[in-house]
Structure 1
Amino acid sequence: VAEHVHIYTLGISRPFGASTFILSWDEKVGSSIYCIESSGQCYKYFGWAIGKNAQAAKTEIEKVQEIDGQSNLGKEELIKRAIHVLLTTREEGTTGHRIEMGWIGEDSNEVFEGINQSEVDKLEEEVSQQMEDEED
């Protein structure tokens, strides 16, 4: 896929102009995150962010990594930490946002699966409350 994107960038056509995440999971390696940049470069990451406020999000992801390394956190705790990163890096005064999540892993039979929106909303409320309590 990265080679295909790179060929377009070299001049066959207009560049794609978007970055893409490819997620995978297998029993030997575990989870993997790859990011294909619009230039065609492809790298494997533990956690990564693109777009507006990407650097702030990467910093928050690194904090989680320093605390937990690659420990086997439960699904709910992983969702909470991802929501925390998103809420921490969101600009103040932003309204009308909606967090949608999905995951891939052993519990999902190695197939990408969307996370129930009501579960995400409930955990977002919990994380928001925890963040407010920490500020006080």
Structure 2
Amino acid sequence: EFTQSGGVRPFGVSLLVAGYDDDGPQLYQVDPSGSYWAWKASAIGKNATNAKTFLEKRYNPDMELEDAINTAILTLKEGFEGAVNEDNIEIGIVGI
């Protein structure tokens, strides 16, 4: 009853799940309904639309790791209110 009625479901969480398999790096987005999508790059949360637009313009499947990290940091700066610095950001690399 509570999950099917508008306004009474207390929480809904979207997740980005990253991994690495025989086909290379994988990224999936899962929404509160359980639907999921595979992405090459994505964003969730506040300003996700702006971040996704930024990623669409800058993403290149052949980019080097350093370029990918730089693009991720620039994407965060696009949607983050305040300064992005070593105190409020962490970068993780998924791979072998």
TM-score class, shorter: 0.7 to 0.9
Alpha carbons of 1:31 and 1:96: their partners in 2 closer, same or farther (altered >3 Å)?
closer
Under a length normalisation based on structure 2, what TM-score does the superposition of the two structures give? 0.76
In structure 1, runs of 5+ residues without a counterpart are 1-8, 107-136
Does residue 1:42 correspond to 2:36, yes or no?
A: yes
More helix by share: 1
* Residue 57 (str. 1) matches residue 51 (str. 2): yes
Question: CA separation in 1, counterparts of 2:15 and 2:38?
Answer: 12
Instruction: Select which of 64, 72, 75 maps to 1:73.
Output: 64
- Judged with a 3 Å threshold, the aligned counterparts in structure 2 of structure 1 residues 34 and 103 are, in CA distance, closer, same or farther, namely same
User: 1 or 2 for the larger relative contact order (CA 8 Å, sep ≥6)?
Assistant: 2
Q: Which has the larger radius of gyration?
A: 1
Question: Quick one: which of 17, 20, 31 aligns to 1:22?
Answer: 17
TM-score computed with the length of structure 1 as normaliser: 0.56
Percent identity (aligned): 36
Residues 1-38 of structure 1: per-residue CA shift (max 9 Å, x gap): xxxxxxxx569xx67511111111123x1111011101
> Secondary structure of 1:84's partner?
helix
User: Aligned partner of 1:23: which letter?
Assistant: A
Q: CA RMSD in A?
A: 2.3
CA 1:96 to 1:22, structure 2 compared with 1: closer, same or farther past 3 Å? Answer: closer
